[in-house]
Amino acid sequence: MQYSMLGSSGESVSRVCLGSMTWGLQNNQQDANQQIAYALDQGVNFIDTAEMYAVPPSLETYGKTEAIIGHYLANNKQQREKVILASKIAGPGLPWVREGGLITGEAVISSVEASLARLQTDYIDLYQLHWPNRQSPHFGQHALNHYKFSDSNANKQIESMLDVLQGLDKCVKAGKIRYCGLSDDTPWGINTFLKLSEQHNLPRMVSIQNEFNLLHTKDWPYLIENCVHEDIAFLPWSPLAGGMLSGKYLNGQRPQGSRWTLQQRNGLFRNTDASEAVITAYQEIAKANNITTAQLALKWCDQVDGVTSTIIGATNMNQLKENIDAFKVPLSAQALADISALLKQYPAPF
């Protein structure tokens, strides 16, 4: 296993981050226990979760994933110090989470307490804002069309961000969280938080996790360049585009129990002629290199300059082993050239 620095935190994290959002719906406690144990045995020391999980998000599944991780930690206390544990506070828009309200400093404090109780731990290593207050909760799309880019509105946003940082600062000083990070945000969001931290001597954001994969490269190079120069860890989520890049959904296939068979996660808005064509082409490159299409996509993500750790997820052990194995073998120069050609041909396939 290879490791990288988590931005300016000084912590070393595995290039593979174990995602957990299926635990509590598609996966049960026993499944999660097996996945965590295997990942740790392979050298993974980074686990990501969120108060919102499991997904699809609902009142019934809210907090279940954290509770599953907490049960594991309570029964494996010796593992806690070996793990960089990351969680997230949900942004606005979910009526069962703070009645759909904004993230505030007060909300940060209460949400950290609730997450700590579910996780059965005294501290969270990396606490992240799942999506910003100014953004609709449509992951990966950055739907800001409800937001007015006026000076007065910008000032309100900055005041809100300062309030959030002050809440995070209280949690850091209390020893309840160690580092702070962002998710589903923009260069303006990153830089505004950094300015506020410097101006007011508040915790510095050390990371951001955004959707990033062969079908969705909007952060490359602009946001990633920003991360590199500001020492912000870039953590891609959905490196397989919700499973699309495994090829399992091609030609209308819907494997039983897969994410696209679940309500709110059918993925059909991405199932275009262009996405089908480019995934089929990626399959051919993978075959030529004796790896699976999923491994091709994961390894491509890992080799992008500026990527710190890629968040993987799996619903069974075979998938988990396949995913982790992807990071062990470099892509050939020819494979990278072939992929680059397809990225130019299909810059936005959905």
pLDDT at 176 over 60: yes
* pLDDT at residue 305, as a whole number: 97
* pLDDT at residue 256, as a whole number: 72
Euclidean distance between CA atoms 244 and 276, whole angstroms: 9
pLDDT tens, position by position, 65-78: 999 999 999 999 99
Euclidean distance between CA atoms 72 and 251, whole angstroms: 39
Q: How far is CA 87 from the centre of its chain?
A: 10
Euclidean distance between CA atoms 192 and 8, whole angstroms: 17
Q: Are 299 and 339 in contact (CB under 8 A)?
A: no
| DSSP character string of 56-96 | S--TTTTTHHHHHHHHHHHH-GGGGGG-EEEEEE--TT-TT
pLDDT at 45 over 80: yes
Euclidean distance between CA atoms 125 and 350, whole angstroms: 35
Euclidean distance between CA atoms 64 and 22, whole angstroms: 10
* pLDDT at residue 153, as a whole number: 79
**What spatial distance separates the first Cα and last Cα of the chain, rounded to whole Å?**
33
pLDDT tens, position by position, 100-136: 999 999 999 999 999 999 999 999 999 999 999 986 4
* pLDDT at residue 28, as a whole number: 98
| Predicted TM-score of the model (pTM) | 0.93
**Model confidence band, residue 271 (pLDDT cutoffs 50, 70, 90):** confident
What does the pLDDT average to over 292-321? 97
What does the pLDDT average to over 278-304? 97
Average pLDDT, the chain: 92
Euclidean distance between CA atoms 347 and 153, whole angstroms: 33
Euclidean distance between CA atoms 335 and 130, whole angstroms: 34
Q: What are phi and psi of 139, to 5 degrees?
A: -55, 135
pLDDT tens, position by position, 6-31: 999 999 999 999 999 999 999 999 99
For the chain, give the percent of residues with pLDDT over 70: 90
* pLDDT at residue 272, as a whole number: 87
Name the nearest CA neighbour of 129 among 200, 191, 180. 180
* pLDDT at residue 349, as a whole number: 87
Specify the pairing of strand 3-5 against strand 12-14: antiparallel
pLDDT at 168 over 90: yes
**Model confidence band, residue 210 (pLDDT cutoffs 50, 70, 90):** very high
SS3 99: helix
* pLDDT at residue 270, as a whole number: 78
Q: Are 41 and 15 in contact (CB under 8 A)?
A: no
Name the nearest CA neighbour of 220 among 48, 350, 343. 343
The beta strand positions in 184-307, using DSSP E, are 205-211, 233-237
* pLDDT at residue 318, as a whole number: 97
Angle between helices 187-200 and 222-230 (to 10 degrees): 20
Euclidean distance between CA atoms 302 and 296, whole angstroms: 10
Q: Cis peptide before 132, with omega less than 30 degrees from 0?
A: no
Active site residues: 53
Six token digits for residue 257: 């129990």
Name the nearest CA neighbour of 82 among 91, 72, 92. 72
